Amino acid sequence: MKQYKMTEKNNNRAHFATRIGAVATAAGSAVGLGNIWRFPYETGTHGGGAFIFLYIMFIMLIGVPVLCAEFIMGRQARANEIDTFRKLAPGQKWYLAGYLGLAASIMILSFYSVVAGWTMEYFYMSVTGALSVNADRLHEMFGCFVSDFWRPLLWTLIFLGLNLLVIIRGVQKGIERISNILMPMMLILLIVFCINSLLLPNAAEGLSFMFKPDFSKTDSSTLLSAMGQAFFSLSIGLGCMMTYGSYFSPTTRLGRCAATTALLDTAIAILAGVIIFPAVFSYGISPQAGPTLVFETLPAIFINMKGGYLWASAFFALLFLASITSTISMSEITIAYLTEKKNMSRKKACCVVIGTACVLASLCSLSFGPLSSATVCGLTVFNLFDYVASNLLLPIGGLIIAIFAGWRLDRRIVEKQMSNDGLHSVKLLKPLRFCLRYIAPAGILLILLNSIGII
Ligand code: PHE
């Protein structure tokens, strides 16, 4: 496809060739297990409607502005995350935030790969027909699988190996291509499953759980988790979108790209909820099941559909692809840093990132079985990585990015990047700056302080 030809201007950095390429890759990073696996289970454990309401508020008031800020900073500096801060604020310590992002990205890559490994096992089971068991055996089956020593571990390592193959091939070829085919197919499949779920006997109960907010049960943990989910789902706060922004072409409309990404991402999360919750209430599964929720509910849905194993295979294949477009983006943050800052070859940098992730991901995988009693503050390695990265590191990173873009960065740079050098008028520039200067910093700070009990 001619429009995806590699263009190498600006310090020979590869960059995405078209606007569609930019949107597809940003959405490719954002859409993944966060929407299909994490969103439903977080919604389930935090009481449903109120969580979703808060999540959407966070996406609009904090998520989209921080996403724009990352794009602006990335495209302005055209460098890896750490150099981006260094170039935009020479001689100051802002770049330290970049290391926070690197740490978060490796932690997320580690636990995320475990869940991506589960999707591969489920794909395998769908294809071989092993998933067609009695619905009440699904819970037990999943439990046996994750607590096994080798099986989940092997899938995790295979997933990381495949990830390595794609990232070694570079930004353009690897990422843009997968993302462009993936998103439309994913949407179509999700809509079919939605219709199927809406026809289930207790669909109304599931929908009311999702869309009737009951704020009497919200507390500081609901707020923190909804904010964490917004950051996780949009892939913001760790410099991932900043790194992608540095590959954007000068003609990409940053505001539109951010809005389209957020819209697609939220739509897919809501669709996933509309698929899962009617089924949860119809098949008597507990919405509070946690990380295992989706892997117990989806097979129950598929088994009861005509041609179930075909649907299941298609779905898990797509989920696998959606996961890999996300893990590519997490890996890219550190790869860009190692190749540009430490002068490593791309191949070596990829091996270092994936090698580190293999060790940590193994610990995460084993934490469902042999290491389940190794806990810190009551959390297993898997849960600890998820909690610390998503609920703490990403919001802290987002806080720093918002303050940087709102207060430290020259407002002319913000204007220049948002308007592509004055080529377009940007209507929402003032609200964007207002969110970055006041709403995002105050909101994030209050919630973080509240969750550690200071206010
Ligand atoms: N946003 C991705 C998802 O929803 C996960 C992700 C988080 C990707 C952080 C990159 C960085 O699955």
Per-residue model confidence as pLDDT tens digits over 140-152: 899 999 999 999 9
Q: How far is the CA of 276 from the centre of ligand 1 (A)?
A: 20
What local confidence, expressed as pLDDT, does residue 10 receive?
Answer: 45
What is the number of alpha carbons within 13 Å of residue 204 lying toward its C-beta? 1
What local confidence, expressed as pLDDT, does residue 340 receive?
Answer: 92
Q: Which of 233, 235, 392 to mutate to test the pocket of ligand 1 (most atoms within 8 A of CB)?
A: 235
What local confidence, expressed as pLDDT, does residue 166 receive?
Answer: 86
| Residue 19 reports pLDDT greater than 80 | no
Q: How far apart are CA 258 and CA 263, in angstroms?
A: 9
* Protein residue with least CA distance to atom 11, ligand 1: 235
Element (H, E) at 380: strand 379-380
Ligand 1 atom at minimal distance to the Cα of residue 30: 1
Mean pLDDT of 216-234: 94
> Pocket residues for ligand 1 (CB within 6 Å)?
29-30, 32-35, 108, 232-233, 235, 238, 240, 326, 329-330
Residues 286-314: b if buried by 16+ CB within 10 A, e if exposed? ebebebbbbbbbbbbbbbeeeebbebbbb
Lowest mean pLDDT segment, chosen from 191-205, 293-307, 370-384:
293-307
Element (H, E) at 163: helix 150-168
Mean pLDDT of 133-162: 92
| Residue 2 reports pLDDT greater than 50 | no
Mean pLDDT of 242-252: 92
What local confidence, expressed as pLDDT, does residue 191 receive?
Answer: 95
Ligand 1 atom at minimal distance to the Cα of residue 32: 12
| Residue 5 reports pLDDT greater than 50 | no
Q: What is the pLDDT of residues 317-352, one digit of tens each?
A: 999 989 998 999 999 899 999 999 999 999 999 999
Residue 101 and residue 397 in contact, taking contact as beta carbons nearer than 8 Å: yes
Mean pLDDT of 101-127: 97
Residues 327-363: b if buried by 16+ CB within 10 A, e if exposed? bbbbbbbbbbbbbbeeebebeebbeebbeebbebbbb
What local confidence, expressed as pLDDT, does residue 23 receive?
Answer: 87
Query: How far is CA 234 from each of CA 31, 63, 65, 259, 273, rounded to the nearest angstrom?
Result: 8, 7, 11, 11, 17
* Protein residue with least CA distance to atom 2, ligand 1: 30
| Residue 285 reports pLDDT greater than 50 | yes
Q: How far apart are CA 200 and CA 211, in angstroms?
A: 17
Q: What is the pLDDT of residues 373-406, one digit of tens each?
A: 999 999 999 999 999 999 999 999 999 999 999 9
What local confidence, expressed as pLDDT, does residue 195 receive?
Answer: 96
Going by pLDDT thresholds of 50, 70 and 90, the confidence category of residue 3 is very low
